Amino acid sequence: MKDLRFAFFGAGYWARFQMAAWRELDGAECVALFNRTRAKGEAFAEEFGIPRVYNDPEELLRREDVDFVDLCTNPFTLPDFVRLSAAHKVPVISQKPMAPSVAIGEELVRTCAEAGIAYYIHENWRWQLQLRQFKAVLDSGEIGTPFRARITMVSGYPVFINEPTLNDLENFILTDMGTHILDIVRFYFGEPELVYCQNHQVHRNIKGEDVSTVMLLANGGKTTVTCEMGYPESYYEHDVFAQTLAFVEGEKGTAEVDEDYRIRVTTSDGTHSRRYPPVSYDWARTDHLAVHASIVICHAGFLRAFRGEGTPETTGEDNLKTLRLVFACYDSARSGQAIRLR
């Protein structure tokens, strides 16, 4: 089977890891790069062996014969690039958040459907090995029906230094990290029925919220889920970047994911534990291992889909449900009231 040809949009901080992850897989070749600043794009292309560079996305899509595009640009630009890809009938993978509003997200899903192209969202969090295995534990019934859960991603990591554009987001932690964490809630417990949210701003030099606490009623009303997320950079928070912790109480026992990628299950039979460490790639940062390894797995799923081997879990249509949940959180935070979702 011939390699799929793709174009890559972006040459920023996260693009480097996204592209390195593609190079771990057989069957895909990046043949062109778009970046608004040509010099930066050329340096990126030289590093990754990409033959052609454009600073005009329309010209790239007009001249290049590609099987899909991978959008790894800042959140403000994603919708326009999705629309452009749809106009050229080119399937698209987009970073999250997929859109700055639910209405725009719905429009993008509709636009791609009308163009007859695949629209996938790079929601890689659920592909972290330990979080994937935790799903299997919950589904096994070993701890019984969950009645309470806590999912936490709170970090002292200096995210605003590496990605300064995040300073300018009117909506920050819920769109940036909440998209991941709320997708995990849906992945584990299905579509929530009720949500209540409180937001805070610890850093005063940013526009959006950097700390959020969300409580949801999920699993057909059987499970109360609390999500804690933020980049407060407080003196207490010294954990490595983006390790998501979880603790779930069930009728027969408890299950948890700790900071060492270890899953512990406690029932009447005692406590059993096992580590599920991520693959360590030479391009991955040591404090990003779980996240970076999950990018490769997420890419592999997209490749299979483009070859006609099934549909990824994180389509635009599916991720739209997460986007609706994100903005329901904002509605709750503004009103001080719980929001009923269905």
Q: Give percent of the chain above pLDDT 90.
A: 84
Give the whole-angstrom CA distance, residue 299 versus residue 279.
15
Q: Is residue 240 pLDDT above 60, yes or no?
A: no
Domain that holds residue 75: 4-121
- The type of residue at 330 is Y
Domain assignment of residue 302, yes or no:
no
Domain assignment of residue 307, yes or no:
no
Domain assignment of residue 300, yes or no:
no
Q: Verify that 52 and 138 share a domain, yes or no.
A: no
Token digits of residue 53: 């560079």
Q: What CATH number is attached to the domain comprising 19?
A: 3.40.50.720
At 68, which helix (H) or strand (E)?
Answer: strand 68-71
pLDDT at 241: 57
Question: pLDDT, tens digit, for every residue of 70-91?
Answer: 999 988 899 999 999 999 999 9
Give the whole-angstrom CA distance, residue 94 versus residue 71.
5
> 91 in the Ramachandran plot: left (φ > 0), alpha (ψ -120 to 50) or beta?
beta
80, 95, 121: which is the final residue of a domain? Answer: 121
pLDDT at 239: 52
Question: pLDDT, tens digit, for every residue of 172-225?
Answer: 999 999 999 999 999 999 999 999 999 999 888 888 899 999 999 999 999 999
Q: Verify that 77 and 200 share a domain, yes or no.
A: no
Q: Verify that 40 and 160 share a domain, yes or no.
A: no
| Mean pLDDT across the chain | 94
Q: Verify that 113 and 153 share a domain, yes or no.
A: no
Domain assignment of residue 179, yes or no:
yes
121, 149, 180: which is the final residue of a domain? Answer: 121
Domain assignment of residue 291, yes or no:
no
Nearest to residue 143, comparing CAs of 248, 257, 245, 274?
248
Q: Verify that 105 and 157 share a domain, yes or no.
A: no
Q: Count the domains in the chain.
A: 2
DSSP 171-236: S-HHHHTHHHHHHHHHHHH-S-SEEEEEEE---TTSSS-SEEEEEEEETTTTEEEEEEEE----TT
Q: Verify that 117 and 130 share a domain, yes or no.
A: no
Domain assignment of residue 309, yes or no:
no
Domain assignment of residue 22, yes or no:
yes
Band of pLDDT at residue 235, cut at 50, 70 and 90: low
Give the whole-angstrom CA distance, residue 271 versus residue 227.
25
90, 121, 152: which is the final residue of a domain? Answer: 121
Q: Verify that 59 and 135 share a domain, yes or no.
A: no
Q: Verify that 95 and 197 share a domain, yes or no.
A: no
Token digits of residue 14: 């996260």
